[in-house]
Amino acid sequence: MKETATFNIHDPYGLALLFTRDGETLITAGMDNLIKLWSVSDWGLQATFTGHSKSANTLDLSPDGSILASGSSDQTVRTWSFPDGDLLQTFEHRKQTVAAVKFSSDGKWLASAWYGGYVAAWSLDDDEEYLSIKANDRHVNSLNISPDNKIMVTSGIGDVIRLWNLPSGDPAGELLGHKSAVWSLTFIRAGSTLLSVGYERDVVFWDMESLQEVQRFTIEGEDPRGVIVSPDETLAAVPMQNQVELRKLDDWSLVETLPVSTKVVHAAAFSPDGKIVVASGGDGKLRVWSDS
């Protein structure tokens, strides 16, 4: 891939990156409390959403693309009309930072992960909280929902990945295999496999039927910030110090290293067609690579 653009997106830096499903817009969230929309065709700024009073940490779009959810260190989850940016609802659950937000695949409810160990979910039909789970003794850093909306997975400080039945919120099992903390959780292969990344830098593939580990690789670089899977599930992007590594998902062999001139890389994302990779650096810049 060739680096095709570098420009400032947030001050001091961006924390979350999300492409719209049509690939025409990139959504970014940053330490400056802002959410920004960028045109992929020319990387011009399209809109800025204001409302959070502290860093905007996490983003998700509803399946139909009409609602954007954001979570912040201001202890709120907010939903916005998309792409207009009208604030629809502000949710509060704990006096803690929001680390992750996730829509169900049917777009009917929104789940959130909070420092302090809680997970909450709200029905978007009536804006009512319908689920609150003490999911961790300390922070919950990551959550995800299976494509069939039957299982939610949570992780954070500690070595346990916990599974929860939906919509009841009843415990559904635990996955043990990491050390200290688990940073990211991604469903692949139509939900039959869960990919997790631990503080010890191991990437683990779990079979969701047997709840057994089936594959494990180790990230060799320093300070990895999770693993992002390409839309066709052939590649993994690993943001880390001074670079983003692209690796084959099936055998973890190195495909390409994308160099970054700033030490810390906070986030990365693939475009829906897999032809563009973007990364947010600690210098406040977005770097864009393209294979065309």
pLDDT digit string, tens, across residues 56-72:
999 999 999 999 999 99
- Residue 206 DSSP code: E
The secondary structure of 56-98 as a DSSP string is EEEEEE-TTSSEEEEEETTS-EEEEETTT--EEEEE--SSS-E
- CATH for the 11-233 domain, from 3.40.50.150, 3.40.50.720, 2.130.10.10, 3.90.550.10: 2.130.10.10
**91 and 62 Cβ atoms separated by less than 8 Å:** no
CB-based burial label for 11 (10 Å; 0-12, 13-18, 19+): exposed
pLDDT at 91: 94
Q: How far apart are CA 240 and CA 231, in angstroms?
A: 20
pLDDT at 127 exceeding the cut of 80: no
pLDDT at 223 exceeding the cut of 90: no
Mean pLDDT of 95-109: 95
The residue type found at 19 is F
pLDDT at 228: 97
Mean pLDDT of 270-290: 97
Q: How far apart are CA 95 and CA 80, in angstroms?
A: 21
What are the distances in angstroms from CA 173 to CA 39, 105, 208, 259? 42, 22, 10, 40
pLDDT at 53 exceeding the cut of 80: yes
CA 13-279-25 angle, 5° bins: 95
Q: Which residue(s) pair with 37 in the sheet?
A: 27, 47
pLDDT band at 128 (very low <50, low <70, confident <90, very high): confident
> Taking all residues of the chain, what is their mean pLDDT, rounded to a whole number?
95
Omega within 30 of 0 (cis) for the link into 83: yes
pLDDT at 33: 98
pLDDT at 138: 85
Mean pLDDT of 10-36: 98
For 133-162, how does the pLDDT look when each residue is reduced to its tens digit (9 = 90+)?
999 988 999 999 999 999 999 999 999 999
pLDDT at 292 exceeding the cut of 80: no
SS3 category, 265: strand
Q: How many CB atoms lie within 10 A of CB 213?
A: 15
The secondary structure of 133-159 as a DSSP string is EE--SS-EEEEEE-TTSSEEEEEEBSS
What are the distances in angstroms from CA 64 to CA 19, 40, 89, 242, 292? 13, 20, 18, 35, 28
Question: Tokens 């039909």, residue?
Answer: 125
pLDDT at 130 exceeding the cut of 90: no
Question: Tokens 């869960």, residue?
Answer: 194
Q: What percent of the chain has pLDDT over 70?
A: 100
pLDDT at 213: 97
For 226-263, how does the pLDDT look when each residue is reduced to its tens digit (9 = 90+)?
899 999 999 999 999 999 999 999 999 999 999 999 99
For the chain, what are the domain ranges?
11-233
pLDDT at 36: 98
